[in-house]
A and B are shown apart, each in its own frame.
Chain A
Amino acid sequence: MTDHGHDHDHDRTVKPMVDEITDFEVLEIALRELCIEKGIFTAEEHRRFTEFAEQIGPTPAAHLVAKAWLDPEFKKLALAEPMTASKEVGVDWMEPTGFGTPSDFTAFQILANTPTVHNVIVCALCSCYPRPILGNSPEWYRTPNYRRRLVRWPRQVLAEFGLYLPDEISVHVQDSNQKHRFMVMPLRPEGTQDWTEAQLVEIITRDCLIGVALPKAGVTTNVITDTRPAVHPGTAG
């Protein structure tokens, strides 16, 4: 339509970006479209499922740990019958999505820390994670950096997360490389006397349930959100 008159400078124009799709994205699209075509699920069902999967979080697991701290009988139940305990916080491992898809991953186990044992979970093989009760795994959990190094140099990797364990505490790395799924039940920290379940849940963060952090009174998030205003040298002063 419009003639390419030179009212812009080619030397200062950004070249068109190339958007490359990965093989795995192609595979996902192909598989999803094939399933929809064959009537295995509808596009809308897929969207609802994706929305569901992306909003699961670690809150049920935090409630499970808080309840265990407040009630020794519940703690015994959680360790002996983790699936039953999970149901009490709203997570059904037999039907984790509520969409009628039965689960193959029903071998769930809760690893309780003791004064001499610190548990931490990993999947060295791929990055399996107890999604029904913890939600999606953090990006770092999926990296070879974490998966390969935690089973070989656990104390060093934990130190990189800011967790320094004395020698009196032994480290138990649990690899969930088959059908078992695990979460960690940390010990109740000091300074939480007379706290309610809601208060305790606030300090049991996702990283504590993986085992790369310990719950601390006053620490309610894994992320540092305090920011400072940006400095603009051109306009400052």
Chain B
Amino acid sequence: MRGAKGEIAAVAYESPAAEDETWDRPATPEWFYVVRFDMSELWYGYTGTTDDVVQTEIPEHWLQAAS
């Protein structure tokens, strides 16, 4: 998903990021988003339809506004 362009499907909840919570690092809660990606854009050589999507959940600090 790195560098991929997606669309926010929903705002989820606030939580410390899992990777920080696990290792007991200082972690302030941040917003989590359900992000939708078009499979035909995301994957090279995708053989399904252009309406197929994958949705996954990402904490805010991994997201960047698309230009």
Binding site for B on A (CB under 8 A): 107, 116, 124, 151-156, 167, 170-180
Contact = CB atoms under 8 A, between A and B. Distances in A.
Given A107-B13, A154-B39, A176 B57 contact: yes
A107 B13 CA distance: 8
Nearest to B57: A178
B8 to A, nearest CB: 14
B54 interface: yes
A172 B32 CA distance: 19
Nearest to B48: A155
Interface residues of B, number: 20
Nearest to B54: A173
A198 B22 CA distance: 43
Contacts of B32: 178-179
Nearest to B36: A172
Contacts of B39: 154, 171, 173
Q: Does more than half of chain B's interface fall in helix, strand or loop, or is it mixed?
A: strand
Contact of B53 (A124, A155, A170, A177): A170
Given A167-B49, A170-B49, A179-B13, A151 B54 contact: yes
B56 A177 contact: yes
A170 B13 contact: no
B64 to A, nearest CB: 18
Nearest to A107: B13
B51 A170 contact: yes
B53 A180 contact: no
A170 B52 contact: yes
B38 to A, nearest CB: 10
25 contacts: A107-B12, A107-B13, A151-B54, A152-B43, A153-B47, A154-B39, A154-B52, A154-B54, A155-B48, A170-B49, A171-B48, A171-B49, A172-B52, A173-B53, A174-B55, A175-B55, A175-B56, A175-B57, A177-B57, A178-B15, A178-B57, A178-B59, A179-B12, A180-B12, A180-B57
